[in-house]
Structure 1
């Protein structure tokens, strides 16, 4: 299968060098930096030493290099090695901790997020629309990480009690060292690097952070995502601290980056959110319409009376300009001139005087006379008493149905300054970079939901819901990832959003099973409820939030309010350990003996199934159906795209039947051939014959494990 890329004709041949640089930048944004040319001017250049490092060659990356603009810190070299080191971990299903296992497409992973992100690279690569994370802030003693990046999996397993502790441990960013930046950067960089791979081309990442690391995080994100993909730095005000000595610093930040901002521009992406109070105005209008029928005058009079009676604190009060009513609902008058000036100028004839109306100084907002005529026909444009003044434009509280505009599609006009207003309604607004939400509201909500205060510094799920809705509008099946899950706010935000908007967005959460602190009041309360770790708190919060939603609506629309729980663990298949040249005969013999039976005898069929599924690039939410093929049990995944046989024996009949079924992948145990090399060779040849003459994308992948 081939893919062709179209380029618009610009009168010249393709600039191959520029095109190659653009492709390289898309893959490795951190390899582009600034240097000075022979004239002393700053120019963009490729950092080839870093490019070699990205490709696995570390020679001279941090030594003997020219001066460059960039960001370095102690330990960065080891971080890059950690990124490129494959993981030999797996995700083991925990059905007893899950909700609606057989139907849900949501995932909760309990484990170290660095290893978990590596495991998700194949199955979620380029599939995530939004990542929101609230990483631990660098205040001392508030985040933990492996003390040896080359042994991060073993460190985690020892920490979680899944491996004997041979000195490997997670260490805290102690108060003594907490105000230094290096350890925090070493913790964050690999995770952000891997997270970028998961984002779709139109995907976005949002990162909450405080004053202390916001500048370093900005530099770090510029390196990982590319400075050109920066969108905004939001300010989240949470309330004044009256005990402050100098200034009350009650705000945090949210850094927003796109995977490819150019893609958002190509798609003409516009983010908007509903104005607070707009929905209440529309609902009141519908009630009045039921009462008065088509008597627009009576509806308008009652609507204006409703506005007058509203308290000043009501959000609809600020929208009282929507006090007029026509056949499309409440409206307010709006500017009909082109924003910023330079708009088109043409004659618009007044229906009474038959004279051309005065043209706004900035030109008309509509690109052509034909488009203007359509808007007049729709009733969106209204004329004044005579032609001496321009007409005005109506902005309705709710979008006018496109079905009413029967000529718009044929018109082909796409360049109006008013497209967003006319097609989506002026009851929406662009978000500002500042927003306020008192932190105590969040504390009180979670305390009521959980029956006690179990968590400190939780994020407000309502504000996260607003952010998710804002950037994923139009993608009803968006995947949302949070790999610092904390109390599980992001999961509740997604579930609430689905209920309110009728969408089917899915979440993937990752949280380290960090023990609750027995010395802390919140930690003691959690332990008293049988919640031993932060991950336990998050899972219980999601269960309770889902139950609360279902209690309110009985889940009549069949919303997905479940989640599959997986626990990070060592592979179910023993890995061959590389032995040095000085390895003894006993060491070699021990390795060989271990691999006679290389499958962990304690592993269940499902453990094996999900490890194969993940490493074949399928999502851990895929439904597995146990079917019979040639008399043997076979797991069928994704409608037969992946077939996995975990039986103790493989037969020629099974191989022939699977080849006939033509899946994308077929896996079976190597031990199932029972040493029959001829049967195994015949299986390889059978699939090779099936693949002969096919393009690579449609070939059957046959593997033994």
Structure 2
């Protein structure tokens, strides 16, 4: 039986360095060599020779760099030994929801999600700190980020260290911000599907640096747009320079396989199609029959069948099609000569034949997606005294989702703030019948609100209230449209809408580190009869196992009682976990029978026990043999 320890690769997040080496050596196996310690190393000279003149080694070259960039890159590649502890008491609809809210430092959380959500996220939306001088910039600790996080947020020690702002007087004003953003975007890219997309809100302070950063991480060729959101409808009169009225939203695709969606047509656009000839083709509107690009063969007279009057296209224009096609259109009554039939020719443009959507544009008006004042009103509708000062507009995020996602996609926001992205996902699902899922990540940054000690607390409460409000009033104004419209989905959709979320909190691993010294070996060894920490529950350990095996945290978990012991079945039998103590062979034999009952996909089943959970060593040895006879080869313990 393989034993999982605190230093085992299975107890860490994905090792990105090892993953990169594996990909590189798959292409160039000859670059792999042995180091002085016997470990595998990359021979850069061999790689240089293989790449030939494609290697750039001159100091003067096009480059974007800053102090600490190399260290930030290493930080992104360092595995995390933390875990995510489940918090059902702070969750909503724990047993049924597929949405996640994760409280913790997003750098460590992104590392922990690398196995379970690698290339599974369709869209990322983030609204990171704008670096205005007052924003909190996380001071990453390169030695132990988990310990650093717990200390900064006051979860260890007496008070914890204070969270730090990044004043403009700092000598490394832009550097601190770049060192924070670089590893997070690097890790986030790994989670995107190949056809995925990321939207990043930012203002003028860092938009130039963010553009260069994203060009490097996502590739300059994958830049899609710098969207301008007109976020204010009134300028401040006390601005000394030029009043800022907009934010930027940088949009990058993961690769060329991303396909943007058309935006829904508006009621105003469709209202132009108000005529019906009862010809079975539906509503239409009059349209111009001429075009600017002149073709000599398209210059001909059109004769009004009723009056016999001839019409030529206006000067500098020609007709839309050839004379033969035009005559066919006239015969089919596709050409309109006015209500009385004696007017100039026009085309009948049928609604059923036009593009069923709008091409997204790079300018988003507050009339269409909301402004900063409407964002505050949205929050005020949920909280009498809004506990958050600068929420994003749900309309902005809904439009991003409409462009980047279809109805069953997964959306990630790892700077989730007050939870606007989760609110937007639920509102859009209610409006169009979708089943999109979200993962929100938020640092428990302290507030001055007694009812909501941290921003994460505000976010959780907003999602609770927003979901209830959506269910309670399904016929209210759709979130993506400024004008009120009736509900477009049947009432049954609202009762099945997923407005829940599972809460997880970042913490150190549940497994005790092996740090016994020779001097205290005799007194310390008894403490390690159980490798799991005393203050951790079976549920804590269970979800760490899911993370390390790369399984979805929202997978259904079924509980079985076998010979009075609790046995968890995850993913229809893909993983079986028993963390109880004093396990006998009756429980083991029950697990063997579960394989036949559940019939997991590909007949594969992995089983994990607590290492100290067996009644005695004989049971432990026989357990492996019994499970092997049942065709279960992967048996481990923690």
Shorter chain as normaliser: what TM range? Answer: 0.7 to 0.9
Is it true that 1:141 corresponds to 2:62 in the alignment? no
- For 1:656 and 1:540, the matched residues in 2 are separated by 43
Match of 1:252 in 2: 247
CA 1:127–1:351: 2 relative to 1, 3 Å: farther
More relative contact order, 1 or 2 (CA 8 Å, 6+ apart): 2
Question: Is the CA contact (8 Å cut-off) linking 2:86 and 2:505 kept in structure 1?
Answer: yes
- CA displacement at 1:151 relative to structure 2: 1.4
For residues 441-476 of structure 1, give each alpha carbon's deviation from its aligned partner in whole angstroms, at most 9, with x where no partner exists: 22233234211132122111122222212322xx21
CA 1:237–1:351: 2 relative to 1, 3 Å: closer
Match of 2:488 in 1: none
Is it true that 1:653 corresponds to 2:583 in the alignment? no
Match of 1:424 in 2: 356
- Give 1:394's match in structure 2, choosing from 345, 349, 354: 349
CA 1:166–1:540: 2 relative to 1, 3 Å: closer
Counterpart of 2:199 in 1: which secondary structure? strand
- For 1:620 and 1:350, the matched residues in 2 are separated by 70
Question: Is the CA contact (8 Å cut-off) linking 2:83 and 2:544 kept in structure 1?
Answer: yes
- For 2:540 and 2:254, the matched residues in 1 are separated by 34
- CA displacement at 1:562 relative to structure 2: 1.2
Match of 1:74 in 2: 67
Match of 1:435 in 2: 365
- Give 1:180's match in structure 2, choosing from 173, 186, 191: 173
CA 1:257–1:341: 2 relative to 1, 3 Å: farther
- TM-score normalised according to structure 1 size: 0.69
- For 2:69 and 2:153, the matched residues in 1 are separated by 26
Question: Is the CA contact (8 Å cut-off) linking 2:624 and 2:635 kept in structure 1?
Answer: no
CA 1:244–1:609: 2 relative to 1, 3 Å: same
Match of 1:322 in 2: 273
Moved more, 178-187 or 588-597: 588-597
Question: Is the CA contact (8 Å cut-off) linking 2:263 and 2:402 kept in structure 1?
Answer: no
- Give 1:271's match in structure 2, choosing from 262, 276, 279: 262
Moved more, 504-513 or 650-659: 650-659
For residues 210-243 of structure 1, give each alpha carbon's deviation from its aligned partner in whole angstroms, at most 9, with x where no partner exists: 1110010001001111111100001112222221
Coordinate RMSD, CA, aligned: 4.3
Match of 2:5 in 1: none
- For 2:634 and 2:318, the matched residues in 1 are separated by 62
- CA displacement at 1:158 relative to structure 2: 1.9
Is it true that 1:560 corresponds to 2:503 in the alignment? no
CA 1:678–1:564: 2 relative to 1, 3 Å: closer
Question: Is the CA contact (8 Å cut-off) linking 1:156 and 1:169 kept in structure 2?
Answer: no
User: Where do 1:280-319 residues align within 5 Å?
Assistant: 281=271
Counterpart of 2:453 in 1: which secondary structure? coil
Question: Is the CA contact (8 Å cut-off) linking 2:153 and 2:444 kept in structure 1?
Answer: yes
Question: Is the CA contact (8 Å cut-off) linking 1:641 and 1:664 kept in structure 2?
Answer: yes
Match of 1:484 in 2: 415
Is it true that 1:668 corresponds to 2:609 in the alignment? yes
Question: Is the CA contact (8 Å cut-off) linking 1:119 and 1:614 kept in structure 2?
Answer: yes
- For 2:141 and 2:593, the matched residues in 1 are separated by 48
Counterpart of 1:446 in 2: which secondary structure? helix
Question: Is the CA contact (8 Å cut-off) linking 1:477 and 1:503 kept in structure 2?
Answer: yes
User: Where do 1:67-466 residues align within 5 Å?
Assistant: 67-164=60-157, 170-177=163-170, 180-239=173-232, 240-260=235-255, 262-264=256-258, 269-275=260-266, 277-278=268-269, 281=271, 321-327=272-278, 328-334=281-287, 381-382=334-335, 392-396=347-351, 400=352, 422=354, 424=356, 428-436=358-366, 437-466=370-399
Match of 2:425 in 1: 494
Question: Is the CA contact (8 Å cut-off) linking 1:358 and 1:390 kept in structure 2?
Answer: no
- For 1:637 and 1:350, the matched residues in 2 are separated by 74
Question: Is the CA contact (8 Å cut-off) linking 2:222 and 2:252 kept in structure 1?
Answer: yes
Counterpart of 1:277 in 2: which secondary structure? helix
- CA displacement at 1:81 relative to structure 2: 1.7
- For 1:67 and 1:587, the matched residues in 2 are separated by 56
Question: Is the CA contact (8 Å cut-off) linking 1:87 and 1:115 kept in structure 2?
Answer: yes
Q: What residue ranges of structure 1 are gaps of 5+ in the alignment?
A: 1-26, 32-47, 49-54, 282-320, 401-420, 517-522, 692-699
Is it true that 1:548 corresponds to 2:499 in the alignment? no
CA 1:394–1:545: 2 relative to 1, 3 Å: same
CA 1:227–1:469: 2 relative to 1, 3 Å: same
- For 1:455 and 1:672, the matched residues in 2 are separated by 47
For residues 161-203 of structure 1, give each alpha carbon's deviation from its aligned partner in whole angstroms, at most 9, with x where no partner exists: 4334799775432453287211101100111111111111221
CA 1:681–1:664: 2 relative to 1, 3 Å: closer
- For 2:360 and 2:492, the matched residues in 1 are separated by 33
For residues 609-647 of structure 1, give each alpha carbon's deviation from its aligned partner in whole angstroms, at most 9, with x where no partner exists: 111122222222122111245764321122222222223
CA 1:66–1:245: 2 relative to 1, 3 Å: closer
- For 2:160 and 2:461, the matched residues in 1 are separated by 32
Question: Is the CA contact (8 Å cut-off) linking 1:241 and 1:248 kept in structure 2?
Answer: yes
Q: Provide the aligned length of Structure 1 versus Structure 2.
A: 553
User: Where do 1:530-549 residues align within 5 Å?
Assistant: 530-549=451-470
- Give 1:618's match in structure 2, choosing from 525, 540, 551: 551
Counterpart of 2:612 in 1: which secondary structure? helix
- For 2:290 and 2:385, the matched residues in 1 are separated by 56
CA 1:531–1:451: 2 relative to 1, 3 Å: same
Question: Is the CA contact (8 Å cut-off) linking 1:614 and 1:620 kept in structure 2?
Answer: yes
- For 1:574 and 1:194, the matched residues in 2 are separated by 27
- For 2:443 and 2:573, the matched residues in 1 are separated by 34
- CA displacement at 1:488 relative to structure 2: 0.9
